[in-house]
A and B are shown apart, each in its own frame.
Chain A
């Protein structure tokens, strides 16, 4: 076990972790930030997507010890409790979610994507979400939501 300082959602704390642990297990099990979901634990679904220094990464493939000194942002840190991010707002509005289990990963993929690509085409959105497995929605309404969010963020 190692004691390390992790900065998650703007707050730095000391955590005791195993050296082989992934950040997904650390945030869920040790920091009790259970919004990030574990669905496959091997990179194939995108449910565990979080941000590391502004870049989306898969929590289940990222060693916790790699996150030391980095800024980690999880779904809990996205809307800071008050206003929903446009992506979240439109996922709600367009029913871009059903069971909701893939949703945190979708948000954490779409938010940095729109930051990088403020005016994406529908095909680009589709492509960018292609690592986010959703078994409920057939993706259509998720793509609608991201499209609408992009438009809203433009204006």
Chain B
């Protein structure tokens, strides 16, 4: 059976969540998770739709510090002059997600927590019946690697890459209280459990206080719209000349490389990136090419950073 709940307050959401005892899923915009439900990849009985909780929808910029309610739509982020002025990187990243109409419903919180993808997993039930189910579903091997332990589904969040490069923090709320942590810390290097939010935690806020001196963003995809990323690179340089380069779409988590610009060499950057990215053949762009593009994108950023 399926049940749909539409709480007006976070407290109501928690009490519903508690009653559902783990057998529920939060809907923010629902633009990602709805398809998982149609494909029987999300089998929870209860939907808790957060879209009526209005105090999670806000954009505020105080003393140059950006605070976003988790339910702020990507569309609102893109059209916000405040964000465009101070954090154009975030706007770029948000603009590269899905399509204009979807972005009006899709939330920043949902985008950060967008579910990992894999060509053998993001398919209909009938399709999966054909190839055989995999580790992440109800099967016991990985259809990509043949392995029995690890799932390499890809984290595809474009805005997570940008926000991690911006050293963003997130605020989580559960019935026990509030906690804050760097965004980069919630991701786990596992394609099945790809973040560690805790069961009923609601992501309420994203805050950015870093003021990047420079930024760079690029997303690899075949079309200029709609496609999930095959490689996203977001990079910033902060006032202390620390470079933060975040790669996504090529591993189970966003991969952050953080180093003073002064000591960073291109060779080393590429080496670290290639080593940390557990890229497997689970995207329709060929594996070899995606790996090559890691180099090319990083080189391009490097050139941009060192241009005269």
Contacts and interface: CB of A to CB of B under 8 A. Distances in A.
- Note whether A and B contact each other (Cβ less than 8 A): yes
Interface of A: 2, 18-20, 22, 41-44, 46, 49, 55-58, 61-63, 65-66, 68, 109, 113, 127-131
Contacts of B31: 43, 58, 61
Contacts of B105: 57-58, 61-62
Given A43-B35, A127-B100, A18 B2 contact: yes
Nearest to A108: B101
B102 A131 contact: yes
Interface of B: 2-4, 6, 27, 30-31, 34-35, 37-38, 47, 49, 51, 98-102, 104-105, 224-226
Contacts, number: 74
Contacts of B100: 109, 113, 127-131
Given A61-B31, A66-B51, A130 B224 contact: yes
A1 to B, nearest CB: 11
A63 B4 contact: yes
Enumerate the 5 nearest inter-chain pairs by beta-carbon distance, A residue then B residue, closest first: A131-B99, A130-B225, A19-B4, A65-B4, A20-B2
Nearest to A133: B226
21 contacts: A18-B2, A19-B2, A19-B4, A42-B35, A43-B34, A43-B98, A46-B101, A56-B101, A56-B104, A58-B101, A58-B105, A61-B105, A63-B30, A66-B30, A66-B49, A109-B101, A127-B225, A130-B99, A130-B100, A130-B226, A131-B102
Mostly helix, strand, loop or mixed at chain B's interface?
mixed
A43 B100 CA distance: 11
A99 B156 CA distance: 35
B104 A57 contact: yes
Contacts of A49: 101
Contacts of A65: 4, 6, 49
A19 B3 contact: yes
Nearest to A127: B100
A75 to B, nearest CB: 15
A19 B30 CA distance: 14
Nearest to B99: A131
A4 to B, nearest CB: 10
Contacts of B47: 19-20, 63
Contacts of A66: 6, 30, 49, 51
Contacts of A55: 104
Contacts of A130: 99-100, 224-226
A58 B31 CA distance: 9
Contacts of B225: 127, 130-131
Contacts of B104: 55-57
A129 B100 CA distance: 8
